[in-house]
Structure 1
Amino acid sequence: MISTQRDVCLDMDRHLLLLLLLWSSGVQADEDHPDSAVIARLVGGASRCAGALEILYEGQWKPAWVFPSNPKTSDIICEHLDCGSAVSARNKGTNSSTLFIGGACVQGLNRLNSFCAVPYVRSTTTLDITCSGVPHRSTEFVRLVGGASRCEGTLELNYLSEWRPVKDYRWDREAAAAVCKHLDCGSAVSVGSRKHSVTSITSLPSVWRISGDCFSGSALRHCIRKGISTSVLHVTCSDSVRLLNGSSLCSGRLQVKSNQSWSSVCEADFDRQDAEVVCRELGCGPPSVLQGALYGEVEAPVWNKEFQCGGHESALLNCRSSGSARSSCSPGKAVGLTCLDSLAQPIIILTSMDGVSEAQQQGFQVSKGSSFTVSCSIQPQYPGGSFHLTFTSSDTKNNYTQPAVNHSANFPFPAAEPAQQGNYSCVYQVHVSSHKLSSESHLLSVTVSASPQTGGRWADGV
């Protein structure tokens, strides 16, 4: 037995450097191989959740050996197979050569990946695992923390018994709506990023990387990854109102939450001013359609008082209500509401013929006398509209207006002067159904230098 262990250790020498590189670059490697999840299985046991570990490698099933093996590594493998947690794990002999998988690589990524596997022809050892067979189905795997209520804050996920914030990677309100629904909150109001202040590379917060479309699916364990980031996801859900069965996040049958229960609202107890408050509370544009049974009939329980909003309130439950209670609601009279979709944020970009350089503190630089153009654009939502370019400096404020053509507009400046040094922003305005909607871009800071700058050809303020 001693000589066999010694031979195994000697045989590992040629692979040691490669394995160390794999282990130490686990998170970095995951960034470069987003689709590298592989199929694994356990064979020869009493069920699919017990037996010798095999990996599908280059189109063939191969026995696999994990070294060093420990309870966390085995738990990750069981989790990958949707088999709960590991009950036992042991090394077992096999008649064929095995794949060598660095256990530290698996732990670093919290999943199995093809680049963790190394063909190891002299080993005849495989890992035999018995999993509990009970998939993890904890309802408490997502939460919002640090906000004014449990329906607002930094999004955190609990994966493999570890809570971490989520990086803001390809998330939108549609994806955030899945989070709000899981938490039994109202509709998704907003989704954005928050920055962590860090003093050194070692103080970067650990995060889970997962795209929004994966969260709303069923394969969470296959696309979640470890990482570090200064930018994390912030989600705001409504505390007490939601729209169901609509064609967008800003349409549907209205429900109100009180005493931990969602209630339908009767059409007779709701008017245009009430609708103004709901649409604003949900981060949508003004109401365009208010009609009973537009998105389904009333369902019990039913809100039993009339809302009496003035139209200026920040939330529906902040409105006054009638003193008398309504005992019934006619069939088909549930409030159906369509709000205009809120405008996306415009994008502002600066281009210059002689190049633009980006400075982290001073902003973007153009050389004196050179031409530059500020471009405004927005994703297509409504036809027409106009862009207003706002310029502000310590002693000046100017506005320039251009019609939106193909959802964009250009503002050329033929010769940069010191007086054009300051902050620029794009404001998009459009009239929809007698309502005026507007949205403003991020600020773009511009400095004018005395000499030509070298650098890239464009810069943006998003």
Structure 2
Amino acid sequence: MERRVLMVFLSLWSSGLRAEHVSTAVPDDVRLVGGASHCAGKLEMKHQGEWKPVYDQYYDWNLRNAAEVCRKLDCGSVVSIQRTKDSSPTLDTMPFFVMYEPVEVIHSDESSNLEISCSDSVRLVNGTNLCSGRLEVKSNQSWSSVCEDDFDLQDAKVVCRELGCGGSANLQAMPFGAPVLTKEFHCGGRESTLLDCRSSATDTCSSGKAVGLTCSEPADVRLVGGASQCAGTLEMKKWGEWKPVDETDRSLKLAGDVCGRLDCGSVVSNRRREEISHGFMWRIESDCDESSLIKCSTKSVYSSSKLEITCSDSVRLVNGSTLCSGRLEVKSEQSWSSVCEDDFDLQDAEVVCRELGCGAPSVLQGALYGEMQALVWTEEFQCKGSESVLLDCGRSGSTKNTCSSDKAVGLTCSEPDDVRLVGGASRCAGRLEVKHQGEWGTVHNDLWSLKETSVICRWLDCGASVSAVRREDSSGRPVWLINPLCVQSKSTLRECVTSKSSPSDSCLEITCSESVRLVNESGPCSGRLEVKSNQSWSSVCEDDFDLQDAEVVCRELGCGAPSVLQGALYGEVEALVRTEEFKCEGNESALLDCGVSGSARKTCSPRQAVGLTCSEPDDARLVGEPSRCAGTLEMKHQGEWRPVTHWYSKWDQKSAAAVCARLVCGSAVSTNIIEDSSYRLVWWIDSSCVQSTSSLRECLLETDVNECYTGLRVICSDFLAKPIISLSPSIDGVSEAKQQGPQFLRGSNFTIRCSVEPQYQGGMFQLIFTTSAAAQNYTLPAVNHSAHFLFSAADHTHQGDYRCVYHVYVFSQNFSSESQRLCLYVAASLTDLIIRLFVLLLAMMSFIAGICLYFKAKRGQDARRTLGSVGGCDGWGVDEEAVGGWKK
């Protein structure tokens, strides 16, 4: 029988553990009844004037929720939360607390009450967990801090016990956050509550600091059935019950947390043991980031497996980046000590690496993972190298008293040989197999992308990732489940194996390039080129690489044609530089198939390493609309076009914007998820990946899910074709100036035509005419996808820039697209030219006449001036009588 019951929404997760600053998330009408005080008992809520019990049938309450109830009731810290069976609830009196959203509740006779115990008079606030914080004591209905001077370790043990935490305690000073209690406690250490201790009055607090207290977490995890407390089946205690743990998403991280909580060494292995479960188990939330595992646990009713963990008993590597690296520490007499580098050699390191389930030691260097801690191992190990554990090795008889602080053993073991590609043409191609728990098996995961493939290729020291496809598999090998997000973030694959899956008829086939890769890239098709030769990777000098070489590399990597070839585009050249020049013809399958120069090159400028950008392959499109920039997203993968649907993360405007950018279609205008009734085979895509990479194909997920009911519709800003602007000249003609553009003669008629390729019906055209002084607009409806703007008697006012803008209403929005600019000039007519020529000739004739008159007048003046000078010059003049006589 189903029935919708009362829903009360709580926002407890965001409240944290800071009692003074949390939001009031729990309703005012809650109470605890049936306990020793108002701070303990069965949880009830008042609804419509009636108190009703709160049941916990489907949502699993945890200590954080209970802590909020304690705070609301002005009690102290939460001590415990339990469920007590109630076999006879009635539906009309069954309130139900849920988080975030309503649910349909099916009634069951196995419903249980929630019983919460809060401390009456003590609490820890502003801590990192429920067992740490500044101590406050309730007296006279108010909370007060306790002076550090008046509190010792015995007092602290009583508080830790009262709060249901572990027995060990650590004291530290904290700033006051409340009034100061004027009491000094004198606990014997065995009291049940702090207020049971003797106390005396005090007036001052000389230190000016409050008590900060950290209790150990309660013993809530254990390993049972193994050779020691550091190995066995994981069990967790919650609500007073020890139950096995079922966990599927992050088993190796969980194993590391458990080893640390049990004060064991590093995690060696974890495996899932199939077993039919009778009753419920605890399950660890995969996305929980709490320091206490119990806060992350929920109830798992149905499970067929248990988790077995093995930790090293007495060695661990700390501060390392992987499970196989870190500063070496050894446990002796319940304390951990660093090991001095002087007392440790390669044979000792081999034993440690073997004990931790790692490969052979690769780096042994002092202070590599932090300086020596306070405790130092005082004996020298004398291992032969064949021992199973370090403490089985012989040791020197004398102890060492000193060791330089920067010489703690820093050890890096190689990762175990736990991944391979088999059945391909080389070790860099084939079926992906992983070795886990000593057994090789294929990989099963529905959500595998090229990003994970790139990591696999890097681990195998192959080149770039080329493809990852799912193939039929009849090998009969075991199947391991892999968390793909873990693969991207971890440095070893064994950290990402979660469990053994049921047999599968498919496997993951990966292809990596063998000898070329692009590094420092923003996507799989760009980066600094490196070539592998003699088991080492070398950069290529730009002087020795041309476009034909680049075409071969892009083809080998499964990318499109090269678009950018530029030195130092993706970082400077590395130390190793290839010493031969490639001489490709452009049609080779791989770069190493190309010929090379006979002579070796010795030098290369450090800023001349080949930086190569290949275009992305034509593997994405938008279909279903008369535009390449609008429609339903489809992608080509494994040679097949399919619609795309998003996986897990939200598909939003940012994801659509990445698609538009990839298709060179401008920005995203709108996007939505549409129903797809065709039941077509689909590809899945990680929308969060789409927003962080330039390559869409990198975000496709290999999946066995082949049918989907939704598709992704994307509308980009450039989905409209650009209008075309053109001229229709009249009989007066039009000429084309060499650099200015079209010219019309003054007085002629002309028509500007705006048109667009057929995409959508209707719309209108706007003609924008711009001069240096003003702008004018003309508007006409689109008829047969065009409009004609007629202008008569052209004059200088028609000279300027013209642009066509097409406007149309589609997809419930107004859109527009603009044409290129047309520059129009108006030239003078033939009559104007004749008149101007005649005026020019008259002006020239007048100018010439004036010049002639000027020079004529000037010559006359010069002649008269010359005659006057001859008659007046003595000795040089002419004797008129003589002349006259001669004449005579």
Which TM-score applies when normalising by structure 1?
0.56
Aligned-partner Cα distance in 2 for 1:258–1:345: 35
SS at match of 2:256: helix
The one-letter code sitting in structure 1 at the alignment partner of 2:404 is: S
Which stretch of structure 1 is more off in the superposition, 172-181 or 210-219? 210-219
The aligned residue for residue 258 of structure 1 is 332
SS at match of 1:274: helix
Correspondence for 2:375 among 301, 320, 329: 301
The aligned residue for residue 184 of structure 1 is 263
Q: Kindly tell me: are residues 18 and 132 of structure 1, through their superposed partners in 2, closer, same or farther at Cα, counting changes over 3 Å?
A: farther
Q: Tell whether 2:272 aligns with 1:209.
A: no
The aligned residue for residue 383 of structure 1 is 458
Q: Kindly tell me: are residues 49 and 411 of structure 1, through their superposed partners in 2, closer, same or farther at Cα, counting changes over 3 Å?
A: closer
Aligned-partner Cα distance in 2 for 1:114–1:443: 34
Aligned-partner Cα distance in 2 for 1:412–1:114: 41
Q: Tell whether 2:365 aligns with 1:291.
A: yes
1:263-320: per-residue Cα shift (whole Å, max 9, x none)?
1111011011111111121122222211111122222322122112222222111112
Offset of residue 185 of structure 1:
0.6
Q: Kindly tell me: are residues 438 and 175 of structure 1, through their superposed partners in 2, closer, same or farther at Cα, counting changes over 3 Å?
A: closer
The aligned residue for residue 165 of structure 2 is 137
Aligned 8 A contact 1:45 1:51 in 2: no
Q: Kindly tell me: are residues 302 and 228 of structure 1, through their superposed partners in 2, closer, same or farther at Cα, counting changes over 3 Å?
A: same
The one-letter code sitting in structure 2 at the alignment partner of 1:152 is: A
The one-letter code sitting in structure 1 at the alignment partner of 2:312 is: S
Higher relative contact order (CA 8 A, sep 6+): 1
Correspondence for 2:465 among 393, 406, 422: 406
Aligned 8 A contact 2:3 2:104 in 1: no
Where structure 2 has 5 or more consecutive residues not aligned to the other structure, the ranges are 16-24, 33-37, 68-77, 83-90, 106-113, 124-162, 167-217, 424-451, 480-491, 506-701, 705-888
Offset of residue 175 of structure 1:
2.9
Aligned 8 A contact 1:347 1:378 in 2: no
The one-letter code sitting in structure 1 at the alignment partner of 2:255 is: A
Aligned 8 A contact 1:263 1:303 in 2: yes
Aligned 8 A contact 1:44 1:51 in 2: no
1:376-419: per-residue Cα shift (whole Å, max 9, x none)?
x9782563749xxxxxxxxxxxxxxxx89739889999xxxxxx
Aligned-partner Cα distance in 2 for 1:315–1:193: 24
Aligned-partner Cα distance in 2 for 1:412–1:116: 40
Q: Kindly tell me: are residues 128 and 170 of structure 1, through their superposed partners in 2, closer, same or farther at Cα, counting changes over 3 Å?
A: closer
Aligned 8 A contact 2:66 2:81 in 1: no
The one-letter code sitting in structure 1 at the alignment partner of 2:414 is: L
Aligned-partner Cα distance in 1 for 2:299–2:224: 21
The aligned residue for residue 84 of structure 1 is 79
Aligned-partner Cα distance in 1 for 2:387–2:47: 64
Q: Kindly tell me: are residues 325 and 165 of structure 1, through their superposed partners in 2, closer, same or farther at Cα, counting changes over 3 Å?
A: same
Aligned-partner Cα distance in 2 for 1:442–1:18: 37
Matches within 5 A, 1:44-83: 80-82=65-67, 83=78
SS at match of 1:383: helix
Aligned 8 A contact 1:67 1:101 in 2: yes
Please, what is the CA RMSD of the aligned residues?
5.4
Aligned-partner Cα distance in 2 for 1:76–1:157: 16
Which TM-score applies when normalising by structure 2?
0.31
Aligned 8 A contact 2:324 2:412 in 1: yes
Offset of residue 171 of structure 1:
1.9
Correspondence for 2:246 among 156, 160, 167: 167
1:182-209: per-residue Cα shift (whole Å, max 9, x none)?
111101112221111x4xxxx6342111
The aligned residue for residue 400 of structure 1 is none
Where structure 1 has 5 or more consecutive residues not aligned to the other structure, the ranges are 1-15, 23-34, 56-60, 88-98, 119-126, 350-376, 387-402, 414-419, 427-436, 447-456
The aligned residue for residue 346 of structure 2 is 272
Offset of residue 132 of structure 1:
3.6
Aligned 8 A contact 1:348 1:444 in 2: no
The one-letter code sitting in structure 2 at the alignment partner of 1:181 is: G
1:138-175: per-residue Cα shift (whole Å, max 9, x none)?
52111111111111111111111111111132123233
Aligned 8 A contact 1:152 1:237 in 2: yes
Aligned-partner Cα distance in 2 for 1:100–1:113: 22
Aligned-partner Cα distance in 1 for 2:356–2:94: 48
The aligned residue for residue 93 of structure 1 is none
The one-letter code sitting in structure 2 at the alignment partner of 1:174 is: K
Aligned-partner Cα distance in 1 for 2:470–2:43: 62
Aligned 8 A contact 2:235 2:242 in 1: yes
The aligned residue for residue 92 of structure 1 is none
Aligned-partner Cα distance in 1 for 2:493–2:42: 61
Aligned-partner Cα distance in 2 for 1:410–1:145: 42
Matches within 5 A, 1:279-428: 279-344=353-418, 380=455, 383=458, 385=460, 406=465, 423=476
The aligned residue for residue 230 of structure 1 is 304
Aligned 8 A contact 2:265 2:312 in 1: yes
1:224-252: per-residue Cα shift (whole Å, max 9, x none)?
23322111211111110011112222211
Aligned-partner Cα distance in 1 for 2:357–2:115: 53
Aligned-partner Cα distance in 2 for 1:154–1:266: 35
Larger radius of gyration: 2
SS at match of 1:189: strand
The aligned residue for residue 314 of structure 2 is 240
Instruction: Report sequence identity in percent.
Output: 42
The one-letter code sitting in structure 1 at the alignment partner of 2:335 is: S
The aligned residue for residue 28 of structure 1 is none
SS at match of 1:166: strand
1:61-112: per-residue Cα shift (whole Å, max 9, x none)?
9889785568999x9687622233479xxxxxxxxxxx97847x77xxxx87
SS at match of 1:273: helix
Aligned 8 A contact 2:337 2:377 in 1: yes
1:323-357: per-residue Cα shift (whole Å, max 9, x none)?
222222222111111122335556999xxxxxxxx
Aligned-partner Cα distance in 1 for 2:52–2:280: 25
SS at match of 1:233: strand
Aligned 8 A contact 2:80 2:116 in 1: no
The aligned residue for residue 235 of structure 2 is 156
The aligned residue for residue 147 of structure 1 is 226
Offset of residue 36 of structure 1:
12
The one-letter code sitting in structure 2 at the alignment partner of 1:84 is: V
Which stretch of structure 1 is more off in the superposition, 38-47 or 300-309? 38-47
